[in-house]
Structure 1
Amino acid sequence: MVTTGFGYIAASDVYDFNFVLILFGVLLLACGSAALNHYQERFTDALMSRTKNRPLPSGKISPAKALEISILLILSGIVLLFVGGNLVSTLFGILNLIWYNGIYTPLKRKSSLAIIPGSLVGAIPPIIGWTAAGGDLLNAQILMIAFFFFIWQIPHFWLLLLVLDEDYKRAGMPTLTSIFSKDQLSRITFIWIASTAISSLFLPMVALVQTEIVKYLIVFSVILLTVNSLKLLKYSDEYSSVRFAFRNINFFVLFVVSIISIDKLIL
């Protein structure tokens, strides 16, 4: 919802009733996609400590009912996207659903590198908002926004992997720790975090930022994120540095989105 709203504001400099419809459309579509994912992964979820108490593996709801709820949420989300936006934004919403549930979900059972194509799921929501507001798909601003969110998804997932690696292995999922040691993966993840930070510096270069203070705030946040993530260069089994980096990179993205949105709407 946040990244979709960011795309809408970036294209229009306003928020209106259609903005609300688009956000709720994406919310319902995302909930439907998540419910469908629970249905698809109900057997592997039962094997993982993190997911064994979800409604399906715990027996709180039947697979048929979960599928029914998923379809209802997906259809409701598609309708709201079409009413609040247009055909293009609706098609991108459907594409994200297909990419997550139809491509990424089965692919992650086969490849430890599935997150790389799977990161498109994070790049598409701002495009939904952008096109719903009438933005041009070939505009450099939306291409840069989508790239920024694409890059962020990779360290976001790999930081989770560093903590939940054994859980994924119990479920029979291929993980990068079969290729790299956790120490190596920690250092690789730091490089991706730094790449995410640096990619945010391109946002002002495509005229997304109007005021100098916001540009300085982005630069400051880039330095802060990078310095705070240096702890990843020395991996610790206590996971404190990993959890700290996970919170930091998510707060960083939220901060960048928030200050640019405020800049577009108010300043």
Structure 2
Amino acid sequence: MRVLFEKKEIGEVMVGTSVSRQHENFLQVIQSYYQLTKPRIIPLLLITTAAGMWMASDGRVDPFLLLVTLVGGTLAAASAQVLNCIYDRDIDYDMERTRHRPIPSGKVQPRDAMLFAISLGLLSFTLLTVFANLLSALLAMSGIVFYMAIYTHLLKRHTPHNIVIGGAAGAIPALVGWAAVTGELSWVAWLLFAIVFLWTPPHFWALALMIRDDYAKVGIPMLPVVAGEESTTRQIWIYTLLVVPASLLLIYPLGALGVVYGAIAVWLGIIFIQKAWQLLQAPTDKQLARSMFKYSILYMMLLCTGMVVDSLPIMQQVTTGLTENLQTLVSAILIGG
């Protein structure tokens, strides 16, 4: 059976290669390698990196350091995604939404993709080491290793808890941003890591509910496949109830952010909880799952934007002024009373 499967896989790749190469020019080759990096995923990782940098620098982030760190983070994330495409090429061919990716379609050979991934990783490490610091570079490399060795190899095909544990890989970019500025990791950095970590299950399980049949077809034990929609929506509900309060810990007790971020986090959190509740009431509704998935992306992007805005010096001055005026007003009222 194994030999037959390998022959089948090799045959499919050869057919795809012979067809695609007849029509490929240089720009199409570049596009194929670009698609290997799964570029739509990377911006969400980078915004957590930027949020960490702004908070670590109290809103006075060095533009050059910001650029270098984001480029280095992009290269590391791209390397991880290319390696993932190589490893998962067998199941990618069988899943409808992934069979047209460059490797299963034969546009890029696994060996060439591996060289591309190694080059991206080395460039990331070099860039971060030279222009940021060694800690940020090592964290970026640990993200690649964790994503491939722990999530993709050990967890993804073997346990429905793959996303819970594997979420650590997606949370590492926040640590990279903080380390690039400070050269160390504080409690605030680890809380930012925890927020992304807790956010990952509701985000990814909502997607898994949408494409449950695809995962079942290739034998990937995602939670909706193994435990069903009801159990999955309960877990989404629980993790949503965890991530929203966790986001507020940046205000108290850590005191890293103020009322502007607090207002944004509360507003976003209420909507997040509402969507999780709606999905809990209708576990099989794929439109609700799609809505939850899309909003989870918006939630993280706007939450990180709130961190950046609140950490700006001008915003801190406004907040301090409002606090002082409020204290003066309260004192006047108490004295007058």
**TM bucket normalised to smaller:** over 0.9
- Partner of 1:227 in structure 2? 274
Q: Secondary structure at the match of 2:211?
A: helix
Deviations 1:177-236 (A, max 9, x none): 3542212212221221222222111121112213x2332232222222212332112225
- Partner of 1:156 in structure 2? 203
Shift in CA distance, 26/99, structure 1 to aligned 2, threshold 3 Å: same
Deviations 1:96-126 (A, max 9, x none): 1100011110121111211122111122111
- Partner of 2:144 in structure 1? 97
- Distance, in Å, in 1 between the alignment partners of 2:207 and 2:271 is 21
Q: Secondary structure at the match of 2:288?
A: helix
- Distance, in Å, in 1 between the alignment partners of 2:198 and 2:285 is 26
- Partner of 2:182 in structure 1? 134
Taking only aligned residues, the RMSD between alpha carbons, in angstroms, comes to 1.5
Partner amino acid for 2:182?
Answer: G
Specify every segment of 5 or more residues in structure 1 that has no aligned partner in the other structure, as ranges.
none
Structure 2 residue 244 is matched with structure 1 residue 197: yes
Specify every segment of 5 or more residues in structure 2 that has no aligned partner in the other structure, as ranges.
1-45, 316-337
- Partner of 2:213 in structure 1? 166
- Distance, in Å, in 1 between the alignment partners of 2:133 and 2:71 is 15
Deviations 1:125-165 (A, max 9, x none): 1111111101542x221121111011011111111111111
Check whether the contact 2:65–2:132 (CA below 8 A) recurs between aligned residues.
yes
Check whether the contact 2:124–2:137 (CA below 8 A) recurs between aligned residues.
no
Structure 2 residue 53 is matched with structure 1 residue 8: yes
Structure 2 residue 163 is matched with structure 1 residue 81: no
Larger Rg: 2
Shift in CA distance, 176/224, structure 1 to aligned 2, threshold 3 Å: closer
- Distance, in Å, in 2 between the alignment partners of 1:40 and 1:179 is 22
Q: By how many angstroms is 1:5 displaced? A: 1.3
Check whether the contact 1:144–1:203 (CA below 8 A) recurs between aligned residues.
yes
Check whether the contact 1:29–1:77 (CA below 8 A) recurs between aligned residues.
yes
Q: By how many angstroms is 1:60 displaced? A: 1.0
- Partner of 2:163 in structure 1? 115
Paired residues, number = 265
Greater RCO, CA 8 A, separation 6+: 1
Shift in CA distance, 213/89, structure 1 to aligned 2, threshold 3 Å: closer
- Distance, in Å, in 1 between the alignment partners of 2:170 and 2:222 is 20
Deviates more, 1:76-85 or 1:221-230: 221-230
Give me the TM-score of the superposition, normalised by structure 1.
Answer: 0.94
Check whether the contact 2:215–2:225 (CA below 8 A) recurs between aligned residues.
no
Percent of matched pairs sharing the same residue: 31
Check whether the contact 2:136–2:176 (CA below 8 A) recurs between aligned residues.
yes
Check whether the contact 1:193–1:249 (CA below 8 A) recurs between aligned residues.
no
Give me the TM-score of the superposition, normalised by structure 2.
Answer: 0.75
Q: By how many angstroms is 1:176 displaced? A: 2.0
- Distance, in Å, in 1 between the alignment partners of 2:48 and 2:225 is 33
